[in-house]
Amino acid sequence: MTEYKAKDIKILEGLDAIRMRPGMYIGSTGSRGLHHLLWEIVDNSIDEASNGFCSKITITLNSDLSISVEDNGRGIPVDIHPQKQMTGVEVVFTELHAGGKFSDENYNYSGGLHGVGASVVNALSSWLIVEVYKDGKIYYTEFESKYDPGTKKIESGRIKIPLEERGATKKQGTLVTFLPDKNVFESIVYNFETVAKRLKELAFLNKGLLIELIDLRGELPYKKEYFYEGGLVDFVSYLNENKKVLFEEPIYISGCNDTLQMSAALQYNDGYTESIFSYVNNIPTSEGGTHETGFKSALTRVFNDYARNNGILKEKDSNFLGEDFREGITAVLSVKMKNVQFEGQTKTKLGNPEARSLIENITVEKLSSLINSRGYGKIMESVMQKAVSAAKVREASRKAKEITRQKNSIENANLVGKLSSCTGKKAELNELFIVEGDSAGGSAKQARDRKFQAILTLKGKPLNAEKKRIDQVLANEEIRSIISAIGTGIGEDFCLDNLKYYKVIILADADQDGAHIRSILLTLFFRYMKELINEGHIYIGQPPLYKVAYRNKTQYAYDDKELERFTKNLGKGYTIQRYKGLGEMNPEQLWDTTMDPAARKLLRVTLEDATECEKLITVLMGDNVEARKKYISEYANFNKVDEFISEASV
């Protein structure tokens, strides 16, 4: 037995722990983690803006693949820290849990909670340079991560050039430039559109802030600017851009107390789904939280009071439900508060219990005053008509709640002939493959491992859930089968605890029809079962496009590039089979390529940017044909239609 003694315990000093376990700090070393580095630096500048010290931020994608972030804020402190006996800049970039956001003296509101952002970026970069423009002077320091042959390890983020004064300037603020370490990340190439989408969102959330994005990596410089004087009002108008709105100008409210300040904008469209996006200190809270709960409660309370006071609800009538008032709503809620408590490492759900009542009280006060003032009669008439219509759908048929009855009936839907369940009883180990067509379904049923893999065969494409009421969605037999098989219910009745399969895998042909089916199913999950996406339960199977046979060997290529790589040096005598559909594979081939956990490729569906996903689904799956044509003409690569549709769907 190997001895385990004190000498075997590793002590990681300074920033070494970050490099040893980067996933603990930035989530992954893939594209998401790479972009997280940028968000950490940008968020520091945004915190300056949120607290009234910064009006412009410039992000530059440099030709050497480094990236620069400059703001005109106060500038990171350059004086000596009393405890560490080094400058404030050096402390911020070399010490974990060091920053100006642990008290309320420097920042009333901040997205940074732990003081690890700047130091993490430094630790995972090959080099990092900071210039501070302060009190008419330029201050410069440089850090590097370098291999030490003596200790035989990489020293992370060490100071290469201590902070020094380098001339005079009229500028004020901070410039940070860093090169992510190619030995840490799978790629160090930033995606322009990913960066642009997040910066646009931040500009919406911080009205009056100018954000510039410059790309110097191409033959010619490319620049985009984001500036929204209307803030959240402009944000909601942007989200509803391709929808038919019930009134032109979004409703806007704002208020504050000693603990927090909030602002919200909302507007109704002729759709049937609810789109509420919330943020805390500029951080998207895609899973909601106490602030969103308080906001929704306030909407229900205020609009019901209005309905009572204006004779829309009679004395004998029951109040409208919250879902009646949220049908067709697009709203953005932004909260800035002290002592934020997020649930989980991803900061996607607010946990502060006091936020619910505080947000509800402010919203009730401000919204009540606004909608009862002159000039809001027409707006409220359309809101009330929308609620009345939603309530009728909910209450009309069979003298009961039509939607609830339909939802309950789903649990007893007949799945005979459609669902081949697995024998395993542990949901966390089980997988559900959703397959379209008898041929593909039959092959999948023979190929699967019955212990943990279930197959749901759809007969034809399900209904496109975009722009459909929930009762219309539930009337579709294929959708009822999907909901019944998964077990969680949908909409207001959704319960993740009832999930029967922890992996729900869309397995469609690798062609345009397959891409369309994926798009339809992803739209259903996004609109009515979004938590399945948020919690990482939705996957897309990746069947191969080609089978390459050469002598006694067989290889499978999943795209054209892989096919070219396989066949490049084969010479003559090989054959290529192009799979038109899953049904062309025999069960052994389908298992080997697509269903075997040890060999398959699965694409997990994530929700990186909920607002952009909302807009994209509206464009691609909605009724606005002109908007869809415009998007396709701008973004489609017609040489790779399959790839475009699939990626756009995800």
Which positions of the chain have pLDDT values less than 70?
1-17, 19-25, 97-116, 151-152, 344-347, 395-414, 416, 636-650
Q: pLDDT value at position 2? A: 45
Longest dimension (CA), the chain: 85
- The answer to whether residues 162 and 38 belong to one domain is yes
- The answer to whether residues 480 and 528 belong to one domain is yes
Is residue 576 included in any domain, yes or no? no
The full length of the chain comes to 650
How many whole angstroms separate alpha carbon 107 and alpha carbon 98?
Answer: 14
Of the three residues 206, 226, 246, the one that is the final residue of a domain is 226
Of the three residues 204, 226, 248, the one that is the final residue of a domain is 226
Q: pLDDT value at position 490? A: 86
What are the tokens at 514?
């397959």
Q: pLDDT value at position 5? A: 34
- Residue 45 is given by DSSP the state H
C-alpha closest to that of 241 among 619, 621, 644? 619
Q: pLDDT value at position 198? A: 94
User: Using CA of residue 646, residue 648, residue 649, residue 650, what is the dihedral sign?
Assistant: positive
Task: Say what the pTM is.
Answer: 0.81
At 548-567, the pLDDT tens digits run 998 888 888 888 888 988 88
**Contact at 8 Å (CB) between 181 and 145?**
yes
Is residue 60 included in any domain, yes or no? yes
At 431-488, the pLDDT tens digits run 999 998 888 899 999 999 999 999 999 987 889 998 788 878 888 889 989 999 999 9
- The answer to whether residues 255 and 276 belong to one domain is yes
Which range of residues forms the domain containing residue 140?
16-226
Total structural domains in the chain? 3
How many whole angstroms separate alpha carbon 516 and alpha carbon 166?
Answer: 58
Is residue 199 included in any domain, yes or no? yes
* CATH number reported for the structural domain that contains residue 375 in this entry: 3.30.230.10
- The answer to whether residues 209 and 182 belong to one domain is yes
- The answer to whether residues 191 and 215 belong to one domain is yes
- The answer to whether residues 236 and 220 belong to one domain is no
Q: Helix crossing, 290-309 with 354-371: angle to 10°?
A: 30
C-alpha closest to that of 481 among 552, 428, 417? 417
- The answer to whether residues 195 and 133 belong to one domain is yes
Is residue 212 included in any domain, yes or no? yes
What are the tokens at 495?
């319960």
How many whole angstroms separate alpha carbon 31 and alpha carbon 35?
Answer: 6
- The answer to whether residues 630 and 535 belong to one domain is yes
Phi first, then psi: what are they for 440, rounded to 5°?
-65, -40
Q: Where are the alpha helices (DSSP H) in 103-260?
A: 117-123, 192-205, 232-239
Q: pLDDT value at position 374? A: 86
Is residue 539 included in any domain, yes or no? yes
Q: pLDDT value at position 217? A: 96
Is residue 446 included in any domain, yes or no? yes
User: Which residue numbers are catalytic?
Assistant: 436, 509, 511, 513
Q: What is the residue whose two structure tokens read 């999948």?
A: 444
* CATH number reported for the structural domain that contains residue 448 in this entry: 3.40.50.670
- The answer to whether residues 289 and 432 belong to one domain is no
- The answer to whether residues 38 and 108 belong to one domain is yes
Of the three residues 226, 244, 270, the one that is the final residue of a domain is 226
Q: How far is CA 277 from the centre of its chain?
A: 11
Q: Percent helix, strand, coil in the chain (nearest 5)?
A: 40, 25, 40
Is residue 438 included in any domain, yes or no? yes
- The answer to whether residues 277 and 373 belong to one domain is yes
- Residue 289, sorted as left (phi over 0), alpha (psi -120 to 50) or beta, turns out to be left
* CATH number reported for the structural domain that contains residue 32 in this entry: 3.30.565.10
Is residue 261 included in any domain, yes or no? yes
- The answer to whether residues 345 and 369 belong to one domain is yes
Please, what is the end-to-end C-alpha distance for the chain in angstroms? 49
